Amino acid sequence: MKTAYKAKKIFAENEVFNNAFLIVEDGKIVSIEKKYDGEYIDYSDKYIAPGLVDTHVHGYHNVDITDGEPGTLNIMSKGVLQMGVTSFLPTTLTSSYETLNNAVKVIGEEYKQVEGAKVQGIFMEGPFFTEEHKGAQNPAYMSDPSIEKLRHWQELSGGLIKKIAIAPERKGTVEFIKEAKKMGVYVALAHSDAGFDTAMDAVNAGANIFIHLYNGMRGLHHREPGMVGAALYSDAYAELICDGHHVHPAAAGIAMKTKGHDNILLITDCMMAGGMGEGKSKLGEFDVIVKDGQARLKNGSLAGSILDLIDGVKNVYDWNIADKKQAIDMASKNAAASVGIDDRCGILKDGRDADFIVLNEDLSLVETYLDGKSVYKA
């Protein structure tokens, strides 16, 4: 059955269509038309955009994917629909080898059965980090990178690992990056005190993403540009948590001006407290207090965020550091491209799954669609 949706604006891959129709049939996008004679669902005062893609999200609705509890992945996949997310990479934290074995195994067993947003791979945030900028990662489990461990995790997950983050100053990182790339795993840089040259060596070896830019890394100094300098200088992608707490709006704007919006991806780094309101929570093994839109450890350090991805999109537009198309692309098209899944999500295009969101003009979420079916209404 063919269904048409009329919108004030439709944000396609390389164009914004005004007063146009999205045509969907059997769960797939058929075309985007400027005229349509049949009946249609009327969103003529609203926008249609691709479903958002969160490539860095640990949990939501009081579940943490690292726990490896059966059913957790499904709860999370349904919960993130209210962020406007239709595809995501469930993200593990630095934990024991055994805990990570179980977590990736469970994801690999359950990802095809989820009822909500689609699992497009796994992101392993650690455990190959250093203590200096550990953030909410447990240094007890940190070590030099091991390609043997990555191969084992990839086997346990059924080939689902798409991305792993490491600290580039650890021993053997260049060799690890090259071998991981051969396996089809994208290597990111994070939780590191590496200097500029060391970080650039990792980029030159094939690392292509800096994790939550500015957070968990050596800052910029004019005589030693550090990890932040390498992120701004290189052509690699950089993640940003645009909740207004992790990164000042001006710092986010500097990154966008320096690197160009095409090299920025918006992520949530959301933890299990996401969607749960204020109160006590956990991030891995750490106790967390959620208050005033922030999640903090007992020592006052910021933990993972409780950001909804659509709010990050709205924020960068409201902060006047991105236009609407750029804001949407950073949380969909760019995010998907950063880990090579833009052939299946992040873009409204003929033949693709009809995974899209309906937005008000202020970019607040109205409705989320999966395969042409409405699955969440704000």
Predicted local confidence at residue 138, as pLDDT: 75
Q: Are 80 and 298 in contact (CB under 8 A)?
A: no
Residues with Cβ within 8 Å of residue 318, at least 6 apart in sequence: none
pLDDT at 87 > cutoff 90 = yes
Which percentage of the chain shows pLDDT scores above 90? 85
CA dist 133 and 121 (Å) reads: 26
Question: Backbone phi, then psi, for 132, in 5-degree steps?
Answer: -55, -40
Determine the number of helices (DSSP H) and then strands (DSSP E) in the chain: 10, 21
On whether the pTM is more than 0.85, the answer is yes
- Token pair belonging to 292: 């005033």
* All structural domains of the chain: 2-49+349-377 (2.30.40.10), 52-338 (3.20.20.140)
Residue range 188-214, pLDDT digits in tens: 999 999 999 999 999 999 999 999 999
What does the angle CA 204 – CA 205 – CA 208 come to, to the nearest 5 degrees? Answer: 75
pLDDT at 47 > cutoff 90 = yes
Q: Which residue has the higher pLDDT, 278 or 321?
A: 321
pLDDT band with cut points at 50, 70 and 90 for residue 274: confident
54 belongs to the catalytic site: no
Candidate list 193, 201, 269, 342, residue with the active-site label: 269
- How would you label 248-274 residue by residue, b for 16+ Cβ within 10 Å and e otherwise? eeebbbbbbeebebebbbbbbbbbbbb
pLDDT band with cut points at 50, 70 and 90 for residue 276: low
pLDDT at 302 > cutoff 90 = no
Residue 88, judged by CB atoms within 10 A of its CB (0-12, 13-18, 19+), counts as: buried
CA dist 211 and 18 (Å) reads: 35
For residues 3-8, give the mean pLDDT. Answer: 97
Residues with Cβ within 8 Å of residue 78, at least 6 apart in sequence: 61, 114, 115, 116, 117
pLDDT band with cut points at 50, 70 and 90 for residue 294: confident
pLDDT at 117 > cutoff 80 = yes
**Could you give the angle at which helices 97-110 and 72-79 cross, rounded to 10 degrees?**
70
Residue 298, judged by CB atoms within 10 A of its CB (0-12, 13-18, 19+), counts as: exposed
Residue range 143-162, pLDDT digits in tens: 999 999 999 999 999 999 99
In single-letter form, the type of residue at position 314 comes to K
Mean pLDDT for the chain overall: 93
pLDDT band with cut points at 50, 70 and 90 for residue 280: confident
For residues 360-366, give the mean pLDDT. Answer: 98
